[in-house]
A and B are shown apart, each in its own frame.
Chain A
Amino acid sequence: MTAMEQVVNEIDAVAVIARNVNFYYGESQALFDISININPKQITAFIGPSGCGKSTLLRCFNRMNEVILGTRITGDILIRGTDVYKEGTRLETLRKRVGMVFQKSNPFPMTIYDNIAFGPRMRGLKDKAALDEIVERSLKQSDLWQEVKDRLNRSAMELSGGQQQRLCIARTLANEPEIILMDEPASALDPISTSKIEETIQELRNYYTIVIVTHNLQQAARCSDYTAFFYLGRLVEMDTTAKIFQNPSQKRTEDYISGKFG
């Protein structure tokens, strides 16, 4: 294998590569020299206290931070070899490949059907049968189909909080992304809706790379394969979730997961 082929293989084996990423909100630096590999078709949880940079890093992956004035990034983020921050990278293409689900569900004020079909239509798909197929498949994948199949033309705003969140997951899935970023996707939901979301996340694992930011340690423990712990803008350690929650190698991680200070 040539050195070049090796590099290509490496890029193929990793869904997201961040290399020496520094990120600034104006003068204040939020991320310090972060290098991390996100494994494909696995669930990676980002954990850490408030302000540790976990959401900031997540939003770097699909350039969501750019909407905030005065932000600046150095270092590289590669998604399957594509340099996310290279000039000429189209945001529409990037965000189709890297979907995002937010803490607060944000359905568009339109019908359930139109919410899901929104992305594909934006990309020019007009064929009704194809759209029908996408809507059904996406809603099935997000485990919402049974609950809404008879009222696809009703407003999405009528759905419960948990259903709205699964609708947002379905809307993301309709774009067939490679990577789904989830920022506290269940923090505003009751335990049953949370369990459903977690189950959905685990089912999606076979098809998508998922990165989830959560303050709920049990949630990270329950539904992720890998966990990365961040502290004061730095990556402290990343390992299998079982290792992180049973026997992490860093003292800082140990103190955080067991709720200690000092």
Chain B
Amino acid sequence: MPHYNKYFDQELQDLKELVLKLGGMVEEQVSNAIISLTDRNVELARETIKLDHLINKLEVEIDEKCIDILALRQPMGPDLRFVTTAIKIIDNLERMGDMAVNICERVIDIAAEPRLKAYLDIPRMADIAKHMLKGCLDAFVTRNTDLAQKVRLEDDMVDALMSQIFRELLSFMVEDPHTISRATRIMFIAKYIERIADHATNIAEMVIYMVEGRIVRHTDPEAGN
């Protein structure tokens, strides 16, 4: 439904598109970080690290736009929820971008050493995290709280894989201390992916607030919250 002031409509639409653009950039960064890991592609890792400043720049730009809208339009009701949610979403997206950089840094760290093991669970975990990221952005655009709820539930799978990876790497380290340096870094990578999934969960929860005005953070999604 349009506002009486069409310029305000346009500003909100622009804001939404910028958030999506940032989301798209972060999706690509996370994807490339995972490819650089599985393909042991140091060049791609370096490229990915280099691009992070674009995410930071866009995040600041969107942040300023949100503050402008708050100061100049003084939005109310659903518009207020939309703008405050956008501020939080871009903060989470930017952190995900940082996690992609961290993954790439660890990829570079371990590149010189032989491969510790074939990666199975980490790509699986990364696939779910990426799916969650896509899901929370889709939920944001389409204001789909069912989808947001699904994203929240997916986080459990990521957490389960995280503990599985932890146990596996631990057994490597116990068996052969020479693997500690590599195993620790892979553990970090798993943790970064797990954090990406957490940020996607945060965004999904904010989408529920944006649409329904209901704060579901720190509640159990399986309990129907």
Contact = CB atoms under 8 A, between A and B. Distances in A.
Interface stretch (B72-80, B121-129, B158-166, B173-181): B72-80
B76 A217 contact: yes
B1 A262 contact: yes
Interface residues of A, number: 16
A246 B2 CA distance: 18
A260 to B, nearest CB: 5
Interface string A211-253: 0000001100100000000000000000000000111100001
Interface string B67-98: 00000001111111100000000000000000
B8 interface: yes
Contacts of B74: 218
Most B-side CB within 10 Å, residue of A245, A246, A253, A259: A259
Given A261-B1, A262-B1, A262-B2, A247 B213 contact: yes
A255 interface: yes
Interface residues of B, number: 16
Given A260-B1, A261-B1, A261-B2, A245 B76 contact: yes
Contacts of B4: 259-261
B3 interface: yes
Nearest to A245: B76
A17 B85 CA distance: 39
Given A246-B213, A247-B213, A258 B2 contact: no
B2 A254 contact: no
Contact of B1 (A253, A255, A257): A255
Contacts of A217: 76
B5 A258 contact: no
Interface in A79-101: none
Nearest to A248: B77
23 contacts: A217-B76, A218-B74, A221-B76, A245-B77, A246-B76, A246-B77, A247-B213, A248-B77, A254-B78, A257-B77, A258-B3, A258-B75, A258-B77, A258-B79, A258-B80, A259-B3, A259-B4, A259-B5, A259-B8, A259-B76, A260-B2, A260-B4, A262-B1
Given A245-B77, A260-B1, A260-B4, 7 more contacts: A245-B80, A246-B80, A257-B76, A259-B3, A261-B2, A262-B1, A262-B2
